[in-house]
Amino acid sequence: MTNYRFENFKPAFDESTGAPDERTQGYFASTSVGFHDARSTDDALKNRVERAIADGRNLTAVYAKQEYEHALDASVPVATFAWFEKLVNVGGGRLVPGHLITWVTVRPTHRRRGLLRSLMTTDLAEAKAAGYPFAALTATEGGIYSRFGFGVATWAHSIEVDTSPGFKMVHEPDRRVEMCLPSELRELAPKIYGEFMRTSPGAMERQQTYIERATGDLNTDTGEADRGVRAALHFDEQGEADGYVSYKFAGWSKNPPTIELIDFVAVTDAAYASLWSFLAVIDLTTRVTFGESAEDSPLPWLLTDSRRVRTVSTEDNIWIRILDVKAALEARPWYVPGTLVLEIDDSLDLAGGRYTITSDGENAVVETAPDSTPADLSLGIAELGSLYFGGADPVILARAGRIDENVPGAAVRASSMFNLGRMPYSPNGF
């Protein structure tokens, strides 16, 4: 790595000009290349930096010496990395600080030189030393991060809902829904989402981007405001907002006429049903699309004709990397009593070993087990990450050869013990 210089810094503005400072400008020029984003206007870049500061993002940039005339300036990094901290619901409304990784890029001309491995392994070791029980990320490519011990822990469905005449719910919703100016969500969306987050395993605090998208202040495709955004709120029996939807009309060229959901958050089942009922009766449209629906959404069961809900695709969402097995497993609830011995392999030597989990039906004590203690299951640290929120089934992982079942029936026992009573869902990317 002698040909490269690594720098850690926080996004910042130049006090004399009011513009992002040189390092920050270079950093975002690099991530724009990595993620195929259009070059930002001055205003869009300013807003992006403000959001990064609001989220508390910590940046790492890798610089290479400029060798050729006309090439990108040496102030533009050849690789980038960032992390920030957000609370994560590990089950039962228990919120734990997570180490969230994002903006990982390596310029194509500097691939296969160990930059990604160096950035990732250094960061994970530092996160473990800082006391984080796990790290998390969302991946633009599915085959990259398992080698670093990350396992898929939550999933999202992209759905299409036929709202043409005949759309009907099994039970009449309360219909306590009113439209509002999207700007109302600046204050209400964080509050409502904060309440929702405590109901859903795997859900985590959101970034500033989600607030600005919901309010129409940000169109992620253009970096500018989106004046086509509309919004509606659901109110509980006391008149308090407990759900919202942000959406836009897809345009008259779209066939059939379609409403595209930007954000949909419901704290209660009543809010969920009523907001969908509202969407179904929007005039001049016969379809609603949503790219971040829960894997176990109740929507098909709400309708008299479940075929009106069509899953277009399923994608992995949150990937979890366990950094401290004892701390991570003792942080989450355990609703089924029992004992389980796991042999965990970690190629990065951050969290491997043999552990005994003893659950009393509420909490668990996790202890290092001696080598003489037989392991019920043997698995990699990535597979433990997939099990962590209860989203992956140990029985299926054993059938796929991802887990070795050393004791007959141990996978079934693990399936019941890891279950959190509700499939994990985090309508959040970073």
Q: What is the pLDDT of residues 377-406, one digit of tens each?
A: 999 999 999 999 999 999 999 999 999 999
pLDDT score at 142: 81
CB 47 within 8 A of CB 208: no
Residue 205 has a pLDDT of 95
What's the mean pLDDT in 131-146? 93
Alpha-carbon distances of 403 from 32, 375, 382, 414, rounded to whole Å:
39, 12, 11, 11
| Burial of 335 per CB tally in 10 Å (0-12, 13-18, 19+) | middle
Confidence of residue 426 (pLDDT cuts 50, 70, 90): very high
Contacts of 112 (CB under 8 A, 6+ apart): none
Q: Which residues contact 396 (CB under 8 A, 6 or more apart)?
A: none
1 vs 246: which has the higher pLDDT: 246
Average of per-residue pLDDT across 153-179? 96
The β-bridge partners of 313 are 158
Q: Tell me the whole-structure pTM to 2 decimals.
A: 0.94
Task: Tell me the average pLDDT across 362-391.
Answer: 97
Over the stretch 2-20, which tens digit does the pLDDT of each residue have?
A: 689 999 999 999 999 999 9
What is the average pLDDT across 426-430?
Answer: 89
Q: Which of 84, 145, 196, 264 is catalytic?
A: 145
Mean pLDDT over 109-113 rounds to: 92
Residue 1 pLDDT > 70? no
**Six token digits for residue 399:** 């059938």
Above 70 in pLDDT, residue 193?
A: yes
pLDDT above 70 as % of the chain: 100
**What pLDDT was estimated at residue 221?**
81
pLDDT of residue 218: 87
Residue 430 is among the residues annotated as catalytic for this protein = yes
Residue of 167, 247, 272, 430 marked catalytic? 430
pLDDT of residue 38: 86
